[in-house]
Amino acid sequence: MNKRSFLTCTAMAVAALASSAVYAQTTPIKFQLDWRFEGPSALFLTPAAKGYFKDVKLDVSIDAGNGSGGTVTRVASGAYDMGLADLAALMEFHANNPDAPNKPIAVMMVYNDTPASVMALKKSGIKTPADLSGKKLGAPVFDAGRRAFPIFAKANAVSGVQWTAMDPPLRETMLVRGDVDAITGFTFTSLLNLEARGVKAEDVVVMPYPDFGVKLYGNAIIVSPKLLKENPAAVKAFLLAFTKGTKEVLANPAAAIADVKARDGIINVDLETRRLKLAIDTVINSPNARAEGFGQVSAPRMALMASQVSDAFNTKTRINADTVWNGSLLPSKAELAILPKR
């Protein structure tokens, strides 16, 4: 072998080793959303589409979900490394499974306020929470608003409510048909679903939980304890890339919907753009989020939520807020300062 050939082979070998090293450093992350691909999914799909996760050596796959409870269970089982789930569902899992070896942990708040609300049609005569007493309410059994309704009821002296259960696609239909007097659900989900069934927004009475004495947090990014222990750097990198992508989504929601459309080609772009904007305005860039800081939580509020969820969900053990939250891997406060001024 002549000198030139030797140098060429050496260079190729070095390049191959470098490539292998880069590949070896890439961490695969299986991530599950709380629900199907809709407008708010852009918060995760946009940083993935723009390569922000790849930039920090993460190979992130994102799957749709079918409810926060399922996401918590799948992360606990090891089927997924991380996910987006309602904090109350995570607290409930901890309290009802005290001996579970792999209880997921929340590491970043996404929905600073619960998106849950009670919705009724104006023609029903329901105007305030007091009007709900003795009425028939409907929601899937696992609905976050239904599970937390005892907190809403206590705060607003509501009593005598009768519940009707149904599958999620039937919730708004049953309200329109008059089968139930009111429903619980995420505002940005049920309100737009009612519009899709021919109901005008001005004909709907919306009672958001945060406006009626319920100060629960909403959805948070959760992680398996295994990944948190074995590769905290990967979790930290994920949160940083997510924050970078979220900043762009907040600045231009309409453009971000293209990333959702790329994952689910049958979505209604206009509808999902409105859904995303509604989510941003009500639970992401909310007054509480601006006061506490995006991604962050208040310890007293967390403790209050833990106590309220323990009571409302009638958990086997009391919830310890310190065991469900770990904010040590969050980006810096400067990096988290992404909420637009209102």
pTM over 0.85: yes
In 3D space, the residue among 311, 312, 288 whose CA is nearest the CA of residue 300 turns out to be 288
* Beta carbons of 146 and 88 less than 8 angstroms apart: no
Identify the CATH number of the domain defined by range 116-212: 3.40.190.10
Domain ranges in the chain are: 26-113+217-336, 116-212
Distance separating alpha carbons of residues 251 and 243, to the nearest angstrom: 12
pLDDT, position 25: 81
d(CA 90, CA 86): 7
> Would you say the CATH fold of 116-212 matches that of 26-113+217-336?
yes
pLDDT of residue 23: 43
* CA dist., res. 281 & res. 308, Å (int): 25
Please report, in tens digits, the pLDDT of each residue of the chain (342 residues total): 555 554 455 545 444 444 444 445 899 999 999 999 999 999 999 999 999 999 999 999 999 999 899 999 999 999 999 999 999 999 999 999 999 999 999 999 999 999 999 999 999 999 999 999 999 999 999 899 999 999 999 999 999 999 999 999 999 999 999 999 999 999 999 999 999 999 999 999 999 999 999 999 999 999 999 999 999 999 999 999 999 999 999 999 999 999 999 999 999 999 999 999 999 999 999 999 999 999 999 999 999 999 999 999 999 999 999 999 999 999 999 999 999 987
Q: Is CATH 3.40.50.300 correct for 26-113+217-336?
A: no
